Every structure is written in C-alpha cells, then in structure tokens.
Structure 1
C-alpha cells in the first residue's frame, strides 16, 4: 500500500480520534452545568409559576394559537386533535390550526375530525396546502400569517400533550418579555414496546434531561426541538421567520432568534409524551434528517455566530452543538482505518510510555462519556425503574455506532449541498394495524454497506487480537456488533413491513368488496 496513502489515512484516523475525544468530553461539561444548576433553576421555575397564578386569574391569560403540522399521519392525527382540544385553557383564547399538507387519506381523516371538533365548540381550523413549499417551515409560516395568538404552541402528529401544558408554559412568556421560546421535555408513549424503543428513550432522555437543561441553564444557545414548545410570535419575526432551506428549520430559527437577542427557556418539569419509531428503518430516516439538517444549519449559522459578540464559550458551545452529528463520520473513519494502519503502517519514531498512558486515559474517558451522561440522565429523570432501563444501554451503544454509515452519508450530503426532500417518520399511532400501501419502505440499500462494514470490522478485530493489540479491540468489537445488528435489523423490519403492507391492502380490498356487495 502506498506510503502517502497510509500517512493520509493516519492523519484522518488521528483527526477522527481527536474529534471523538472532544465531543466525548463535551458530555462531561453538560453534566457539570446540569448538576450545578438543576436544583436552583427547577425550584425557581416552580415558584415563578405559583407566583403567577397567585397574582393572575385564568381570565388574564393571553391568546394562544396551537399549530399542528401534519403530513400523511392518518394513524396519529385523531389522537393528536383530541389531546390538543382537551388542553385546559380558556376556549375563547385558544385557537387551533391543523396545518395538513397530506397527500393521502390522512387529509380526509383530518377534515372529518376537524369538522366534528368544531361542531363541539372548539376554535379549530384546517389549512391544507398542495404544493408543500418549504415543507414544515412553509406550513408553519402560512399558518402564522393568519394566527390570532401572540404565542404559538407547536406539536407534531406523534405527540400527546398533557392538559396543563399551556398553563405551565405560557406564564414564562408573559412574565419575561425577552423569552422568545419555552421548550418542554419529551416523554415516551411506547418506551417499553421493544428494545429499540427503550434504547431510543434513553438517548432522548440524555438530550433533554442533561443537554437541553445544560444549554438553557448554562446560558448557552439551545434549540427548539420542532415540537412541544411555545413561541412568541415576535421572536419568530425577530429571527427572520421560518425558512425552509434546511431540514432542521427548528434549530435554524432558534439560533437566528437568539442572535437577535431573544432568550430560549427549557422547562424540565413539563413533559410531553411522544411515540418513538418502532421500526429501525424509520428511525434511521429520522436520524438522517436530523443529521443532515443539523450540519446544514451549522454551515448556514456558524459564520454569523462567530462574527457575533456573544462570549467565546457560547461560540464553542454552538459549534459543538450544531456539528454534533460529525461524531458519526469520526466513528466510521476510525473503524475503516484501524485495520490497514495496523497491517501496513510503521510510524517514524516511537512515543514514550507515559504518552501512550495519557492518550489511552483520554480515549477511555471520552469513550465512556456518553454512557455517563445517559446514566446521570436516567438517575435524574424522575422516572421510576431507571436502574432496569440502564440494562438496555448496550443496545443504545450498538445502535449509535450502527447508524454511523447512514448518518455519515447525511453529513456528507449536507456538506456537498445536496438538497433532498423531507422524509416523514411513520408512526403507528398506537394502533395494532399498520399503515396502508403508500407507507411501504424502499429497499434498505444502506444496510448492505452496514453489513460489509460490520464484516470488515470483524476481520480488523481478529487482526488486532492476533497482533496482541488489546486496547483497541473492544472498540472494534462494538463497531462490528453495531453495524451488523443495525444491518440485520434493517432487513428484518423491511421484510416485516412488506408483509404488513400486503396484509393491510388485502384487508382494505376485502372491506371495499363487502361494501360493494
């Protein structure tokens, strides 16, 4: 193998390793900020809400518009509409906009349900677009132009807000005119449905319990998570409005609003349950969208952040936050480069023993950092049974590694400026039956690559064991398990989806035939 190629590979390997260490140690800083501010901030928030309702009545509450962006969510939309209409808020001050861009039977389901709820006295309207310009951002923008409320609550179709959501969030916007957004914490409707959903729930808890808390309470830039939040309309306009040039319009707007001087508030004790994807291919599609959109936002926003007058630590936090999905190319590169470097690369000179010891210590601490974050998140989440849930942490680790191929493709697509389209994440809505034929998945070609990379990592692992290089062995073992597991699961869920779709079509045809007869 060419010496130049090997040295280039070595440079990539080192850069990827350093990247993993940096992102790993950022977890410890998030944990520090969370533990430092948790008790004080949560207590202060509770006192503020109590004080507000001691001094104000329900009649003093402002007008709120709840926006529900929907696209082909026939399984979930009725559950969403019932939950939102059940929210405990003065009816005359709560407008509901259903922003349905659906291209399937969901539109008829939504139309019928909206008419039913309107007849029951709710101020609910259906806004249907056929061009889908700017996807979700375009729908929210069009709805905002005719919204009555000065505050806009947003929920995706797979969320089920509690009745007191608005009562627990809107007062923060009223009490502090500089707060542009109040973000709630995501909960989980189907956490225990499978190992996949359980692992996802732990990952999401890590983000909301620790990372969002740390950013909000540590006075760093945080992002709106696209749902389960309430915006001040002026903050949206102040940030330049909704824009559809990234797949994470929520993160994009959040940063632009904060650069304009608006504050973002995360409320730890307001939890909004949501449905987790129970199919690995749906989960990968969701992660692909988030990864690509985050990098698109980083490319668009970071130059403005770096030119701004915010403190240096805020700028560093913004860089790590918006580029977080870069850990996946870093993992993929270290996995691909390890075997050739062992077999063919002979570095010039040797480092002293202490350098290897220090280097290994840093790598080890960085490697376990996400697990430490998830442990603290579960311990402090307030949910019961957290010790049992931690038994699924290995599944989450394998899952995080296994999607590195797909997410690396998303990162490269964003860097190269590939546009692509918004791909929805199908949900069951808690129903036993699956969605109809147009929800059928495409063949998971990326799973073939994941399978090949997994096999490649096995050969690399055997080579390292044969060379008595045991330090990197566990990492290659995790890579092999992760890639192979995600690959096999992708094929299994794809095949299962085919059978479910065929069954749904057959049932539908039987119903139509009976109706005809």
Structure 2
C-alpha cells in the first residue's frame, strides 16, 4: 500500500515478490537483479525486512561510490531497537557492537578485506556482476559475494557513524537458528573457496593470507572450536587429571584482556561481563557443532530458517497465553547443552571435594548456564498457538 501511494504521485517505485523460496535469500536477490529496470541503475541498496534506514541513508552512502570507482560496497552499522528487551538481546548487542566497532571499522580503515553484513549496504552493480552475482551454494551469500568481489580487486567502505535500526532475535529458538547459519555457512564457504583464493592471481599473497588465515580460519573456525574445547572441555578435565596444569596467563589473563576488549564497545553493559562470558561459552558448543557440519558438508549444511523477529507481536499476548507457553518445557529441551552441564557439574563437584585450584567456582557457574540454556529458559517466551 505504501508503494502504491508513492507510485500514485509519479515516483518510480515497485513492490515485487516471488512465488517460491528457491535459493532462499540469494535466490531472491538473484531474481530481483533480473528485472529490466535494473539495467537503468548503477547501484543497489539491500535491507532485510526489519531494517529501518533513515531518510538520508542514500545521501550518506552513494557519494563514496560516485567519487571512487574502485569502491564496490558501502556498509552501514546496525543499531538495535530491542537490545534492552531481555538479557539475551543485551548479550547479542555486546558481541555485534564489537564486530562493527572493531572488526568492520579496522578492516575499512586499513583498506583490508571485511565481509558484507547482508543488509544495510549499497553495492555497485558492475562490481556485483563482475564478481559473478549472487550464489546460493552456501547460507552466507553475502560473505560469498564479498570474498569474490575482493578477489577481483574491489574495495569496501564501512561508515561507522551511519546506523540503521533493526531488531535482534529475542527468542532462544530464533537465535540458535541464526547462529547455526552464521557459523555453518562461513565454514562451508571456506571449504569451497580456499583453493579458489590460493589460485587467484589478481591479489597479493598478503591479502590471500589475510582472507584465508585471519578472516576465515581464525575468526570463523578456530574461534568457535577453541572457545568450547578450552573452557568447556580442557579446563574441566584438568580437575580430573591434576598432573595437567593450565598456566594462569592462558586460563585467566589473556582471556580477561580479550573479554574486556570485546565489551569496551558497549560500555553500558560492562556490569554484564560475567553473564556474557558464560553465555558465549554455551553458544560456542552450538557454533562448534555448526562449524563442523559446514566443514564436513554434513546434513544441515544448507538449512535456512528465517530468523524470527517479534516486532510488536508481544504487545498483544495475554498473560494466560504466556503461562501456557512456559508450561511446555519439553519443546525447549536441548540435549547437548544439558549433557555438557552434567559434565561440568560433575567436574565442579570433584574439584570442590578434592581439588586445590578453586576451579569449581567457574565450573558451577558455567554448568548453571548450560542448564539454563539447555532447558530453554533464556530469551523472550512467546505462545506456541
């Protein structure tokens, strides 16, 4: 209706949908680029359904593309309208603020590669086509295109002072699906593109090393696996095998510095650091599983579930419905998290009885976090009917 209203005023605007989900988001974007009017355009702006760009968005992004023919993408920052909805959304805000403030900002300012976030960005259509267009071979079509465009020599710009409002997933189910896609997709893309990157002759060896090692291997694979293996397997295991000693610099000092650096971009949530650490450690189990699925190209590798955003739906639910939702515990059980919680609880109890390192303080807290998330008691609860 909004598009029809503007069209009636003579504005060249169209509203189009497709009747299938082939290729998911990549398929939809590819279908959109086939429209005849695209040939009349130089740039394409992309927003997910819950994103709310300000009226001056194009005025603040297009000049970067117009005045520098080497720039293919201008990426804006995300601003979250529901970050204070629950503890889980606060945790997400901390992680994503670090991603934009440090990873994207540094990548842009040093003229190094950084990934397209899939939304709130403007692409030069020539660069998009030269890179091969949208591909649905993984669930991270945005990252796929960005890597291919970078290998063609195109540059990206991140505009940190331009924010686009959007919504965080506030139910644990929706967040798990999103994190599965965000962890599985990059690992699968790494598997598919590593040789393509190595064979590329248009970019320097340094850039190849940066993309393969720093961007993919460290941030998309090692970070998930090491977090889970070290904090949820190795440290608890040292309680049972006292001959193995974990140095304090490895167990406490370096992780503390990394944690503080992650949190500094969201100063209002510094008091939630302990909760954030426990939350991220639990999610590292889910991300590790998704990463392995992506690397091995196993069963759920191309699973695409649209991330549910609640919007205003919660305002219309009655207390009776909410209680009914909370009572259906069986639908929220997550077996792997519960098993990890049992393991950590056993290690904590053993350390309390026989240990000397006082690891049981951390282990009990981490076990509690696994139990809370294993039973699904985190995030916003919504009725199932």
Do the two structures share a fold, i.e. TM-score over 0.5? yes
Contact 1:291 1:407 in 2 (8 A): yes
Deviations 1:318-377 (A, max 9, x none): 423224243333333332355555435867xxx9xxxx7xx4324434312442223332
1:493 is displaced (CA, Å) by 6.1
Aligned to 1:424: 306
1:361 paired residue number: 249
Q: Does 1:332 align with 2:228?
A: yes
- Could you tell me how far 1:186 is from its partner in structure 2? 0.6
The equivalent residue for 1:137 is 26
Task: Tell me by how many angstroms 1:212 deviates.
Answer: 0.6
TM-score relative to the length of structure 2 = 0.85
Q: How many Å apart are 1:446 and its aligned residue?
A: 6.3
Query: By how many angstroms is 1:279 displaced?
Result: 1.0
Please give the TM-score of this superposition, normalised by the length of structure 1: 0.65
Contact 2:86 2:379 in 1 (8 A): no
Question: Distance in 2 between the 1:316 and 1:477 partners?
Answer: 39
Q: Which shows bigger deviation, 269-278 or 312-321?
A: 312-321
Instruction: Give secondary structure in 2 for the equivalent of 1:366.
Output: helix
**Corresponding position of 1:433:** 316
The higher radius of gyration belongs to 1
Distance (whole Å) between structure 2 residues aligned to residue 322 and residue 444 of structure 1: 34
Deviation at 1:168, TM superposition (A): 0.5
Deviation string 1:21-65 (CA, Å, 9 cap, x unpaired) is xxxxxxxxxxxxxxxxxxxxxxxxxxxxxxxxxxxxxxxxxxxxx
Task: Pick which of 257-266 and 187-196 moved more.
Answer: 187-196
Q: Where do 1:367-378 residues align within 5 Å? A: 367-378=255-266
What secondary structure is seen at the aligned counterpart in 2 of 1:197? helix
Match of 1:275 among 122, 143, 167: 167
- Structure 2 residue 87 is matched with structure 1 residue 229: no
**1:429 Cα offset (Å):** 2.2
Alignment of 1:70-89 (within 5 A): none
Change (3 A) 1:461 1:396: same
Selected match of 2:295 from 415, 422, 427 = 415
- SS at structure 1 position matched to 2:264: helix
Report the CA distance shift for 1:460/1:131 in structure 2 as closer, same or farther (over 3 A).
Answer: same
Query: Is this contact kept in 1: 2:116–2:142, CA < 8 A?
Result: yes
Aligned equivalent of 1:406: 286
Contact 1:197 1:278 in 2 (8 A): yes
- Residue 339 of structure 1 contacts residue 463 of structure 1 at CA under 8 Å; is this kept in 2? no
Asked whether the equivalents of residues 338 and 460 of structure 1 are also in contact (C-alpha less than 8 Å), the reply is: no
In structure 1, C-alpha distance between the alignment counterparts of 2:330 and 2:159, rounded to whole Å: 40
Matched residue, 2:74: 182
Matched, 1:392 2:284: no
Q: Quick check: 360-369 or 284-293, which moved more?
A: 360-369
Contact 2:170 2:379 in 1 (8 A): no
1 CA distance for matches of 2:341 and 2:233? 10
The DSSP-based 3-state class of the residue aligned with 1:191 is: coil
* Count of aligned positions: 365
Taking the aligned partners of 1:321 and 1:476, their CA distance within structure 2 comes to 31
Matches within 5 A, 1:207-246: 207-246=99-138
Correspondence 1:343 to 2:343: no
| Partner SS, residue 162 of structure 2 | strand
Counterpart of 1:484 in 2: which secondary structure?
Answer: helix
Which range moved further: 199-208 or 326-335?
326-335
1:125 and 1:177, CA in 2 relative to 1: closer, same or farther beyond 3 A? Answer: same
Mapped partners of 2:270, 2:55: distance in 1: 30
1:319 match: 213
Aligned mates of 1:305, 1:366 — CA distance in 2: 32
Distance change >3 Å, CA 469–CA 181, structure 1 → 2: farther
5 Å-filtered alignment, 1:168-179, equals 168-179=60-71
Which residue is equivalent to 1:205?
97
Structure 1 spans left out of the alignment, 5+ residues: 1-111, 379-385, 435-439, 503-517
In 2, Cα distance between equivalents of 1:150 and 1:445: 47
Whole-Å separation in 2 of the counterparts to 1:161 and 1:325 = 28
